[in-house]
Amino acid sequence: MAKATNTEAIERASGMSWSAWAELLESKGGERLSHAELAKVAGVRWRELGVDSPDWWAQGVAVAYEQAIGRRRPGQRSDGRHEVSVSKTFGRDLDHTLETWAAVAGGAAPFRGVSTDEAPTTSASEKWRYWRATLVDGTKVQATIGLRGTGKPYAAVTHAGFESGDETDEWKTYWRGLLADAASNAGA
């Protein structure tokens, strides 16, 4: 079985080896199960372990397993499209992080020469802040801002909707650099 991209994080959070996760899924007919079915099996185990956000972690296990059995490439979504995601810890608070990200992203547009379809939007809830943009090539970019377990804010940028994985490495490098610029401007 091939190694998937996020198995180390799964092992740390669960206290289970990746091979134990794979054995669990295989015992339930893993290769024949859909993504949703894999996540359901994993979710039961995460709940037994008493971990925070068991559904989120269950999705991660399902994706890692699909990568390990060759059903999905790293960065590929269940619909066959590809995405990239990067994150960076910031200082101060959620609102300041959103303001800083929006200012840096606004100054960088067009992104790698690709303009936005319309002006980016922002929204907020008690625990989260969001910045969203649709690019003229049909891909979508979202910055999700929340708090890490340490209480420090972070921004995670996800760029989704690529037909193939051909450009994902370049975009990942681009967004990582833009996040670093924003974090630097925020005093992180």
What integer pLDDT is reported at residue 145 of this predicted model? 96
The pTM score is 0.69
Q: What is the predicted pLDDT for the residue at 151?
A: 85
Q: What pLDDT is recorded for position 97?
A: 96
State how far the Cα of 94 lies from the Cα of 56, in Å rounded to an integer: 21
For residues 141 and 102, is the Cβ–Cβ distance under 8 A? no
Q: What pLDDT score was predicted for residue 79?
A: 78
Q: What is the structure's pLDDT at 82?
A: 87
Cα gap 127→115, rounded to integer Å: 30
With a cut of 70, list the residues of the chain below it in pLDDT: 1-5, 188
pLDDT at 2: 57
| Residue 17 pLDDT | 95
List, for residues 82-111, the tens digit of each pLDDT value: 889 999 999 889 999 999 999 999 999 999
| CB burial readout 71-99, b (16+ within 10 A) else e | ebeebbeeeeebbbebbbebeeebebbbb
149 C-beta neighbours (distance < 10 Å), count: 6
User: Can you give 39-78 as a three-state secondary structure string?
Assistant: HHHHHHHHHHHCCCCHHHHHHHHHHHHHHHCCCCCCCECC
H-type helices in 94-137, by residue range? 94-108
Residues in a beta bridge with 35? none
Sheet containing 140-147: order of strands: 82-89, 153-162, 140-147, 129-134, 121-124
